[in-house]
Structure 1
Amino acid sequence: MISLNGFFIAGAVICALALVVAVIATAIRKHPDDWALIGAAATELFLVVYGISAAIRQIGGNQVQGDPVEFWGYLITALVMPPVAFFWAISEKSRWSNSVLAASAAVTFVMLFRMEQIWQ
């Protein structure tokens, strides 16, 4: 069980919005639109801020309770996913690019959840 903090809630909301927009875009569009792409960009921006905050918290003495290598491995992997999905979506203009954006948002949420478990 994890305790809910502001970063986790913000990340969950951003990932959920990106997921919903991408799923709707998959259902009604033939190609990714700006809103679906903005979801991936917002997810990436959140992860950058989350990573900087995690580094500051760790330097300030709030240590990861689990394995720090596992935590940072999840974060680095999560940081790679939205840009890959974004560039996939702009290079392949198909309905399924929206599905890739949706999958990226869903997997990023799962990784964020796991990072919070490791931290606590």
Structure 2
Amino acid sequence: MVDWFVWVQVVVAVIAGLAAVTVGFAGVRPNDYTLGATLLVEALLVVQLVMAIIAPAFGNVATGSALEFWIYLVSAILIPPAAILWGLIERNRWSSVILGVACLSVAVMVYRMSEIWFVQLA
């Protein structure tokens, strides 16, 4: 993992999450902005996946449990597509809230992945 990229992911996910929750509670159905922001969060997770695969080859290895890190990463990658699918199938205000909660969940998971990678000692 790369420290600055973790914070980019967390900030983008929090902004996308808060925006989607806000418009959801305002009664706005999922639109291009909320779905696109969630898709951006997913794209950043895919980049994180690639970085996590190649990082150990360059000496950047996890200090915590690699298994726990990978479970968090795979789970985080699955959340945004499920939320986007929900938002496309059920087009009501609560779907926007679900998109926001998904993005906020990813932000927490990415932060936890950084703790596993950088802070924990196996």
TM-score w.r.t. length of structure 1:
0.92
Contact kept? 2:49, 2:73, Cα under 8 Å = yes
Mapped to 2, the partners of 1:118 and 1:30 lie a distance apart of 37
Mapped to 2, the partners of 1:86 and 1:47 lie a distance apart of 15
User: Which one-letter code corresponds to 2:58 in the other structure?
Assistant: G
The aligned residue for residue 12 of structure 2 is 14
Deviation at 1:99, TM superposition (A): 1.0
Mapped to 2, the partners of 1:76 and 1:41 lie a distance apart of 16
Gaps of 5+ in 1: none
Deviation at 1:27, TM superposition (A): 2.4
Mapped to 1, the partners of 2:103 and 2:28 lie a distance apart of 19
Mapped to 1, the partners of 2:81 and 2:8 lie a distance apart of 19
Q: Which residue, out of 78, 82, 106, partners 1:108?
A: 106
TM-score w.r.t. length of structure 2:
0.90
The aligned residue for residue 76 of structure 1 is 74
Gaps of 5+ in 2: none
C-alpha RMSD of the superposition: 1.3
Percent identity over paired residues: 32
User: Which one-letter code corresponds to 2:54 in the other structure?
Assistant: I
Contact kept? 1:18, 1:39, Cα under 8 Å = yes
Any runs of at least 4 consecutive aligned residues in structure 1 with deviations exceeding 3 A, and if so which?
A: none
